[in-house]
């Protein structure tokens, strides 16, 4: 098993994914819900249930930490709540989206539909 697929708790991330991820190019801002940390990065893959944000920040976030995020991909800007699922200090973090409004859900589904038509699924 590669290091890229192992969460901080040692479990295999691929086994927990509910939806296929797609490569995407977008920017993101993430703020820990209690306001103690804000970082920026690039959204590199996305699914209907989560995303991975690449950043050089040396994140020390525990899995389950709630965050608020804004990310832009193509013509779409999405704002949503999420929780940290895994971190790779100096590389980025994976996030699980929380319940979202019907508007955000439709926007995310539209973005995924675009990605399905233009790019192949992200491996890992």
- Residue with tokens 């098993």, as numbered in its chain: 1
Compare 40 and 115 and report the one with higher pLDDT.
Answer: 40
Structure-token pair, residue 41? 């990065």
Burial class (CB in 10 A: 0-12, 13-18, 19+), 23: middle
* Cα–Cα dist 93/71, whole Å: 14
pLDDT(67) > 90: yes
- Would the pTM count as exceeding 0.95? no
* pLDDT for residue 121: 47
Q: Is 97 helix (H, G, I), strand (E, B) or coil?
A: strand
Q: Model confidence over 71-91: pLDDT tens digits?
A: 898 788 999 999 999 998 889
Per the CB < 8 A criterion, the answer to whether 29 and 38 are in contact is yes
Residue 42 has pLDDT above 60, yes or no: yes
pLDDT in tens, 10-37: 444 454 557 788 888 899 999 998 988 9
Distance CA 51, CA 46 (A): 4
Q: Residue 34, Cβ neighbours under 10 Å: how many?
A: 9
**Rounded CA gap, 108 and 114, in Å?**
10
For the chain, what percent of residues have pLDDT higher than 90? 52
Structure confidence at residue 123 (pLDDT): 47
């Amino acid at each position: 098993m590669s290091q890229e697929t192992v969460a901080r708790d040692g479990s295999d991330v691929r086994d927990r994914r509910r939806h296929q991820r797609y490569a995407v190019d977008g920017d993101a801002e993430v703020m820990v819900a209690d306001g103690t940390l804000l970082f920026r990065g690039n959204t590199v893959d996305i699914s209907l249930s989560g995303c991975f944000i690449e950043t050089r920040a040396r994140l020390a976030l525990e899995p389950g930490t709630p965050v608020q995020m804004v990310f832009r991909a193509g013509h779409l800007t999405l704002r949503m709540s999420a929780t940290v699922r895994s971190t790779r200090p100096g590389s980025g973090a994976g996030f699980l989206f929380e319940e979202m409004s019907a508007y955000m859900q439709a926007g995310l589904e539209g973005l995924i539909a675009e990605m399905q038509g233009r790019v192949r699924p992200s491996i890992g």
